[in-house]
Structure 1
Amino acid sequence: MFGIIYTIAMLIVLPAVFISVLWKAAFKTKLEWMLDALTTAVLLVWLFQAGNWSWVGYYFRYLWLVLFIVAFFISLKKVRDLPFRMKYTKNQKSTIGIYALLLVVFGAYNAFVFPSYSVNEEAINLTFPMKQGTYYVGQGGNSVQMNYHHAYESQQYALDVLKLNKLGIRANGLYPEELTKYAIFGDDLYSPCNGKVIEARNDLPDLNPPESNPENPEGNYVALICEQHEAMIYIAHMQEGSVAVTEGDEVKTGRLLGRIGNSGNTTEPHLHIHAELDGVGVPIVFEDRFLTRNSLMRTGK
């Protein structure tokens, strides 16, 4: 429940408040307006990049950009004839100080996001393992801000992938218990490379959110080694009884491995995939794309 409230507050309430203030506030000087406008812009840039927009709609974030542009130009007309600065009261100085602090904080958040988009290490190039729609990266990238897995060395480049419906939302409802309400549930999973299956599990139940199974974090899964790299590729949280390969099988790119489920230590149906070598995460790319949070993969078109 806290996660839902936090998401709504960050992606809807917070930008709405900042844009509303910029639009309607009666500024006394251009300096106050500039600090407000810059703070709002930097906040929106951060949320645009780092927010998990699959909860409220992937395309919803563009609405905030449009409203910000409208608010910017309306407020600009209001302050055009104001002085740049004046002798401020104590309260006005406090307000200016707060906006200056927020500008630094949100600017730092953006600075932490930018490293997420690239890696210096050589990555394993894979074929995207799903073929039936528009897929969204909920966790991914080279920083903790964009990818909570990055805090764990073995999974530092892991991806959590969801599927979006026509409205750009991952599920029919904010956080439904019924698995079939999630757009990705039951989608086929295919081998991302030519390789060999090293491990597989197929007998754990699919759980209704928010239930999870931390004792078996992968749930039903397939682990394989691709021909082009010695790292282990883990494909996790598969549907009970759907795993179509067993240990020792040789697989070709595109062979059916199973279906997306909700088994293991998971909050909702999604694909978890990562590469690991000697306990250290290895970067992966799909068709030479390094995917981060808010990346889309459109398939089957």
Structure 2
Amino acid sequence: MLRKYGYTNGALTGFILLLWISVFFIGGIYGAYSWAILKLVLPILGALGLMINLIMLIISIVKKQKSAKLFINIVVNIMLIFPILMTMNSIPFAYPNTIERAHPSITVSWPLTSETVVGWGGNDVKDNLPHAVWASERWAYDLVMEPYSINSESNEDYGIWNKEIYSPVSGIVIAVSNNEADITPGTEDFKSIEGNYVYIKIKETGTYLLLNHLKKGSVSVEVGNTVEPGDFIGRVGNSGSSSEPHLHIHHQRQDPTKVIHPVLAEGLPLFFQDIDGNSMPNKDTFIKPHPLLK
């Protein structure tokens, strides 16, 4: 049976099954790596294999030869390619982790002082599509202020542009980027995914809080600085991979300065205190932070 199926096909099928088991039942950093392999690596290998086997199938048809193994190869290649539909969000599917299983969660202060809108956020994929589909950003937020989504090419037209950002936690600054230019809204002329940022190792948990897309030259802290909730750390910009000015914030277990790629980390739940409404606010929620910041 295995000989007919093919040893290579058997190994690939077993590997795919192992990856899915890791994602659903093992989790942690192993699940994050498995998810990235399923969504980013295997589809490329599957596409190459499918192209080769289709060519071989055409040749066999022309020669009037039958090959059941080629059909099996094609089916296995399609299995490898299938997760690309999740990568492209044709099938929106959140990274299968749960708030109950992911520890530790943290509850932090709101990083802004003015009324804010949650552009993307929450536990469900429909409310947090760009983030929830990746392990590292499973519970990330994109924050904006009115006006937003106005299709203007000027950063100054967006409500959150240049707004002050305050540390949501007690911790130590472990990494800072402050020199990347802010891009024109709606363009893809960015140098890095995160843009300018401040990364904080949280004193309470030893996990990490990431704040991205800050304005060039606005970061006021340096590596090694200790921060407390309410300390000014920078201003909202539009640096990095960003469609318009906004603040991206998320919580993860691994040190972001030591991961191979930003998606290869385990995202952890992030809640907010001293705000009206749900402590894990969903997309389109208006947030009125309580005046606790310095």
TM-score in same-fold range (> 0.5): yes
Q: Does 1:274 align with 2:255?
A: no
The 5 Å alignment of 1:118-157 reads: 119-120=99-100, 121=102, 122-131=104-113, 133-148=114-129, 149-157=131-139
Structure 1 letter corresponding to 2:123: N
Q: Does 1:234 align with 2:220?
A: no
Q: Report the Cα offset of residue 145 of structure 1.
A: 1.4
Q: Report the Cα offset of residue 269 of structure 1.
A: 0.2
Measure, in 2, the Cα distance between the counterparts of 1:259 and 1:212.
21
Q: Does 1:295 align with 2:255?
A: no
The 5 Å alignment of 1:159-174 reads: 159-164=141-146, 169-170=147-148, 174=150
Runs of 5+ consecutive residues of structure 1 not aligned to the other structure: 1-111
Give CA deviations for 1:126-158 in whole Å, capped at 9, x if unaligned. Answer: 000111x21011111112211120011011100
Residues 209, 130 of structure 1: CA spacing in aligned structure 2 closer, same or farther, 3 A cutoff?
same
The 5 Å alignment of 1:138-287 reads: 138-148=119-129, 149-164=131-146, 169-170=147-148, 174-213=150-189, 215-278=191-254, 279-287=265-273
Structure 1 letter corresponding to 2:99: V
Measure, in 1, the Cα distance between the counterparts of 2:269 and 2:286.
18
Measure, in 2, the Cα distance between the counterparts of 1:277 and 1:212.
29
Measure, in 2, the Cα distance between the counterparts of 1:232 and 1:183.
28
Give CA deviations for 1:167-220 in whole Å, capped at 9, x if unaligned. Answer: xx426xx21001110000000000001110010000000111112355411100
SS in 1 for 2:116: strand
Measure, in 1, the Cα distance between the counterparts of 2:230 and 2:290.
13
Q: What TM-score does the superposition give when structure 1 sets the normalisation length? A: 0.56
Structure 1 letter corresponding to 2:119: G
- Is contact 1:245–1:257 with CA below 8 Å preserved after alignment? yes
Q: Report the Cα offset of residue 291 of structure 1.
A: 1.5
The 5 Å alignment of 1:37-52 reads: none
Residues 195, 134 of structure 1: CA spacing in aligned structure 2 closer, same or farther, 3 A cutoff?
same
User: Higher helix fraction: Structure 1 or Structure 2?
Assistant: 1
Measure, in 2, the Cα distance between the counterparts of 1:186 and 1:271.
10
SS in 1 for 2:210: strand
Q: Report the Cα offset of residue 295 of structure 1.
A: 1.8
- Is contact 1:212–1:263 with CA below 8 Å preserved after alignment? no
- Is contact 1:213–1:266 with CA below 8 Å preserved after alignment? no
Residues 204, 196 of structure 1: CA spacing in aligned structure 2 closer, same or farther, 3 A cutoff?
same
Measure, in 1, the Cα distance between the counterparts of 2:192 and 2:175.
14
SS in 2 for 1:290: coil
Measure, in 1, the Cα distance between the counterparts of 2:139 and 2:244.
20
Q: Report the Cα offset of residue 123 of structure 1.
A: 2.2
Q: Report the Cα offset of residue 230 of structure 1.
A: 1.7
Q: Report the Cα offset of residue 296 of structure 1.
A: 1.9
- Is contact 1:201–1:220 with CA below 8 Å preserved after alignment? yes
Q: What TM-score does the superposition give when structure 2 sets the normalisation length? A: 0.58
SS in 2 for 1:155: coil
SS in 1 for 2:156: helix
**Alignment identity in percent?**
31
- Is contact 2:180–2:191 with CA below 8 Å preserved after alignment? no
SS in 2 for 1:144: coil
What's the Cα RMSD here? 2.2
